Chain A
């Protein structure tokens, strides 16, 4: 049975979607079958990293949550984006994306009307089974809300991203506490946007000591990644870059999840 992996951060702008897309792609490049669900309904974005825009997303997770479409009709086989020469690495990958709608009205509707979280849970499990997934990634909304808590509760593994910033440190403590209460079997921290002047080993140890949670990787603050501007999967384009190596360390860790 495939594993459900939630990628979460207490605050926005930590690089959650970027990390999700990169780790998922790395696992797919190793021959795994991988899907990603963008549950950040209020501010979706992971589709951008794979070259999707509003003209290509005809159905989204929102349609499933409203009962307008089965979950499979909201999924996109990302290999179809390999026609773009810059995304040729996607050609043979078994990787799918279930995006959230980027239409203002549809975002407003799901916020206004709510949805059945049980249905969202069923959708995750249908994807796991029907696509014979090894990994299902859930890209969550920052902070703690019902869909985020559901994602944490059903996950086999939880990755919490934080920046070396006091606000992130305090918020992450809240998330770690909730995840412990929900008895997530495999919890890891990833420190992102760490200044290269830091000693990454010491930073990692300090974070582990603070939260009593292992650190899977420390990702450097990188102008190269910033220049990519979420336009593509950086670690697939530049696998030898230190940032990409840290992404691969996260993928290595997830391959150990029971």
Chain B
């Protein structure tokens, strides 16, 4: 997941086109050679539930069992992915957790006037429609309580 700075950039329109954006896209992952591709697709697919904030090295090592020619190289491969900005690491070894750094979707380069014309509809509809009185409950309890 992009860091706070990346997210704020997206919301403020502060992208600097002279610098390549951090992270990578799923298409770029598909185009990577082994073993980088296998590591990143595993990080992407398995980062859920207990591992939502990233996978520990030992867990990733187990998940990649039989998929890497040289399993002992995994720590160095992860360090390389982090240094390239393709993976994020939280914490320090042996408690470090790794996660894919997905790049924010590129914005459109179509003429601004076209988007302005289309976006007029936003104002017509109102950005924040009033809440349905029958849906006063908030959070997941609203969805689970019947």
* Count of chain A residues with a beta carbon within 8 Å of a chain B beta carbon: 50
- Tell me the bound Cα distance from A194 to B53 in angstroms: 44
User: Is A105 touching B49 in the complex (CB atoms < 8 A)?
Assistant: no
Of B105, B123, B125, B144, which contacts A147 at CB under 8 A? B105
B-side contacts of A116, CB under 8 Å = 1-2, 6-7, 10, 102, 104-105
**How many pairs, one residue from A and one from B, have CB atoms within 8 Å of each other in the complex?**
144
- Tell me the bound Cα distance from A59 to B29 in angstroms: 32
* Count of chain B residues with a beta carbon within 8 Å of a chain A beta carbon: 53
Q: In the complex, how many angstroms separate the beta carbon of A130 from the nearest chain B beta carbon?
A: 5
- Tell me the bound Cα distance from A130 to B141 in angstroms: 10
Q: In the complex, how many angstroms separate the beta carbon of B112 from the nearest chain A beta carbon?
A: 9
Kindly supply a per-residue 1/0 record for chain B positions 104-146, scoring 1 wherever the CB is within 8 Å of any chain A CB and 0 otherwise. 1111101000010011111111001111100000111011101
User: Is B30 touching A118 in the complex (CB atoms < 8 A)?
Assistant: no
- Tell me the bound Cα distance from A170 to B58 in angstroms: 41
User: Is A131 touching B140 in the complex (CB atoms < 8 A)?
Assistant: yes
Q: In the complex, how many angstroms separate the beta carbon of B86 from the nearest chain A beta carbon?
A: 13
Q: Given the known A-B contacts A58-B132, A153-B41, A182-B30, are A79 and B146 also in contact in the complex, defined by CB atoms under 8 Å?
A: yes
Give chain A interface residues in 58-75, CB to chain B under 8 Å.
58-59, 67-68, 70, 72-73, 75
- Tell me the bound Cα distance from A146 to B27 in angstroms: 7
User: Is B118 touching A149 in the complex (CB atoms < 8 A)?
Assistant: no
- Tell me the bound Cα distance from A68 to B127 in angstroms: 10
User: Is A128's beta carbon under 8 Å from chain B?
Assistant: yes
- Tell me the bound Cα distance from A113 to B104 in angstroms: 10
Of B31, B48, B115, B138, which contacts A129 at CB under 8 A? B48
Of B29, B122, B146, which contacts A105 at CB under 8 A? B122
- Tell me the bound Cα distance from A121 to B103 in angstroms: 12
Of A58, A77, A114, which contacts B108 at CB under 8 A? A114
- The chain B residue with its CB closest to the CB of A54 is B125
Q: Given the known A-B contacts A125-B48, A149-B25, A149-B30, are A113 and B107 also in contact in the complex, defined by CB atoms under 8 Å?
A: yes
- The chain A residue with its CB closest to the CB of B49 is A1
User: Is A118 touching B2 in the complex (CB atoms < 8 A)?
Assistant: yes
Of B41, B106, B123, which contacts A182 at CB under 8 A? B41
User: Is B7 touching A112 in the complex (CB atoms < 8 A)?
Assistant: no
- Tell me the bound Cα distance from A152 to B121 in angstroms: 32
Of B110, B122, B128, which contacts A109 at CB under 8 A? B122
A-B contact pairs, 8 of them (CB 8 A): A70-B139, A77-B144, A114-B108, A117-B26, A122-B1, A128-B49, A131-B140, A146-B27
